[in-house]
């Protein structure tokens, strides 16, 4: 077994162990993938100020996100098809997150259902909602999340229509995978993955199949999903969902200051500066580039979180220095899960936590709430002006 010290080590291992269509699904963006790449590379431009002879004892990475105590200001992002990276993937990731003391967000498009995750990983996890045209189904989803005692509802606003992801189209992405010759040959080279999948009944979208009339299997599901994402989604719907939910509401997919102000008006508890991991509008700003202007505009009125490109604890420090109250990891978690299951998700969290802790120390900080722009080298970070 190789010595794993970085998220990149986990990515390399996941690429060996996960069938190509599911690895590519996790590790790709739309069109030219320029925004997907910028999410990572723009972090590299930001430089840190090293400080010395500062008392480094009693450091803590503890913080809160929407009032919930967290071991570090990091949550696991909602990612579709997580249970196709590794058998029972959502359950394993939720378990790892709970043990570590960070939130896990379950996607509407998960393989394991809300009830499955609640049963195996306990309450308190968050649920991410996509708005579909079938209002009755949305009402039931919200009620199921309430019944599972989910700690927050994360409403995704940037997927009313699907971005064109070339790799998914070329791979013929489906869950479970279509048994074409190319897929069978590829899966035959991933015996650990295949054995895991044979050992679980969870191979289709657990939140949807059996919960929508007329959707009993994958063939009817794909046509239902294609017709169900609601291009008419608007701020009135956000207010309706907030009322129906009644708990903490986080709005995901904000990239623009005007939209951030509308998010405040909607009464949400937090917003996530996010471009959907570069999977929707290619050519958009990276999340870290968009963050400072949004923090300047609304950071006093609403909790600002961000996701996109977080591959290390240093990225977490930089995002927090620019005003984020928390960040989300999607791909970093998926690489860990694909590589080593639950232990891999734990490893990803450990790697990020250690880098976060050491970077704080080198920058002369011992508490998260003292991490601000003064730890960054002037001229190297986006300012929002």
pLDDT tens digits along 24-69: 999 999 999 999 999 999 999 999 999 999 999 999 999 999 999 9
**Buried b / exposed e along 71-100 (16+ C-beta atoms within 10 A):** bbbbbbbbbbbbbbbbbbbbbbbbbbbbeb
Mean pLDDT (the chain, rounded):
93
Structural domain count, the chain: 1
Backbone angles phi, psi at 112, to 5 degrees: -80, 140
Candidates 120, 166, 276, 385; catalytic one: 276
* pLDDT attached to residue 170: 84
Q: For residue 381, is it within any domain? A: no
Read off the pLDDT of each residue in 224-244 and give the average, rounded to a whole number.
Answer: 88
The pLDDT value given to residue 173: 79
Share of the chain above pLDDT 70, in %: 97
Q: Which two tokens stand for residue 118?
A: 């609640």
Average pLDDT over residues 73-96: 96
* Burial readout 198-229 (b: 16 or more C-beta within 10 A, e: otherwise): eeeebbbbbbbbeebeebeeeeebeebbeebe
Confidence grade of residue 217 (pLDDT, cut at 50, 70, 90): low
Cβ–Cβ < 8 Å for 100, 347: no
pLDDT at 384 exceeding the cut of 90: no
Supply the pLDDT for residue 156: 95
Known catalytic residue at 385: no
CB 244 within 8 A of CB 139: yes
* Domain CATH code at residue 37: 3.20.20.70
- The mean pLDDT of 304-325, rounded to a whole number, is 98
- pLDDT, greater one: 221 or 305: 305
Instruction: Determine, yes or no, domain membership for 53.
Output: no
Residue 351 domain boundaries? 7-46+63-356
Name the β-bridge partners of 198.
none
- For 5, the token pair is 């010290």
d(C-alpha 277, C-alpha 288), whole Å: 12
| pLDDT interval class at 174 (50, 70, 90) | confident
Q: Is residue 2 part of a domain?
A: no
- Contact (Cβ atoms closer than 8 angstroms) between residue 91 and residue 200: no
Q: Are 226 and 266 in contact (CB under 8 A)?
A: no
Evaluate whether residue 366 is within a structural domain. no
In a domain, 14, yes or no: yes
Given a cut of 70, whether residue 219 has pLDDT beyond it is: no
Mean pLDDT of 239-245: 96
Q: Count other Cβ atoms within 10 Å, centred on residue 49.
A: 14
**What is the reported pLDDT for 218?**
57
Residue 100 lies inside a defined structural domain of this protein: yes
Residue 19 falls within a domain, yes or no? Answer: yes
The answer to whether 188 and 54 have CB atoms below 8 angstroms apart is no
Over residues 364-380, mean pLDDT: 97
* Per-residue model confidence (pLDDT) at position 115: 97
Please tell me the predicted confidence (pLDDT) of residue 39: 98
Question: At CA 364, angle to CA 363 and CA 370, rounded to 5?
Answer: 95
The confidence score (pLDDT) of residue 290 equals 98
pLDDT at position 165 is 84
For residues 126 and 331, what is the distance between their CA atoms, to the nearest angstrom? 18
Per DSSP, the three-state class of 272 is strand
Is the distance from CB of 370 to CB of 41 less than 8 angstroms? no
In a domain? residue 114: yes
Token readout for 310 is 């977080």
Entry pTM: 0.95
Identify the weakest region by mean pLDDT among 94-98, 230-234, 316-320, 348-352.
230-234
Token pair belonging to 204: 């289709």
Main-chain phi, psi angles of 383, to 5 degrees: -110, -20
Band (pLDDT 50/70/90 cuts) for residue 15 is very high
């Amino acid at each position: 077994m190789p010595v794993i010290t970085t998220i990149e080590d986990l990515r390399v291992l996941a690429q060996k162990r996960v069938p190509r269509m599911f690895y590519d699904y996790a590790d790709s963006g739309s069109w030219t993938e320029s925004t997907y790449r910028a999410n990572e590379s723009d972090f590299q431009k930001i430089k840190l100020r090293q400080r010395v002879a500062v008392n480094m004892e009693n450091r803590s990475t503890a913080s809160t996100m929407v009032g919930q105590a967290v071991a570090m200001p990091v949550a696991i992002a909602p990612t579709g098809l997580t249970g196709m990276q590794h058998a029972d993937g959502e359950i394993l990731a939720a378990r790892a997150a709970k043990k570590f003391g960070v939130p896990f967000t379950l996607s509407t498009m998960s393989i394991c259902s809300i009830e499955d995750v609640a049963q195996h990983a306990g309450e308190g996890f968050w649920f991410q909602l996509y708005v579909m045209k079938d209002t009755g189904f949305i009402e039931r989803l919200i009620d199921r999340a309430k019944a599972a005692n989910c700690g927050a509802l994360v409403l995704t606003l940037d997927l009313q229509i699907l971005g064109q992801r070339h790799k998914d189209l070329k791979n013929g992405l489906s869950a479970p995978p279509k048994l074409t010759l190319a897929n069978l040959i590829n899966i035959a080279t991933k015996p650990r993955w295949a054995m895991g999948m044979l050992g679980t009944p969870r191979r289709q979208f657990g939140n949807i199949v059996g919960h929508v009339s007329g959707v009993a299997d994958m063939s009817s599901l794909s046509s239902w999903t294609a017709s169900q994402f609601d291009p008419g989604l608007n701020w009135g719907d956000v207010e309706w969902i907030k009322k129906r939910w009644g708990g903490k509401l986080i709005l995901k997919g904000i990239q623009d200051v005007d939209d951030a102000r509308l998010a405040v008006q909607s009464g949400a508890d937090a917003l996530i500066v996010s471009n959907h991991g570069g999977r929707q509008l290619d050519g958009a700003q990276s999340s870290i580039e968009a963050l400072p202007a949004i923090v300047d505009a609304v950071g006093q009125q609403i909790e600002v979180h961000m996701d996109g490109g977080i591959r290390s604890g240093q990225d977490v420090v930089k995002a927090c220095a620019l005003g984020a109250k928390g960040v989300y990891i999607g791909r970093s978690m998926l690489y860990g899960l694909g590589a080593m299951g639950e232990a891999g998700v734990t490893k990803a969290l450990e790697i990020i936590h250690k880098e976060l802790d050491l970077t704080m120390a080198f920058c002369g900080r011992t508490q998260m709430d003292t991490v601000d722009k003064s730890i960054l080298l002037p001229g190297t970070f986006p300012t929002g002006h």
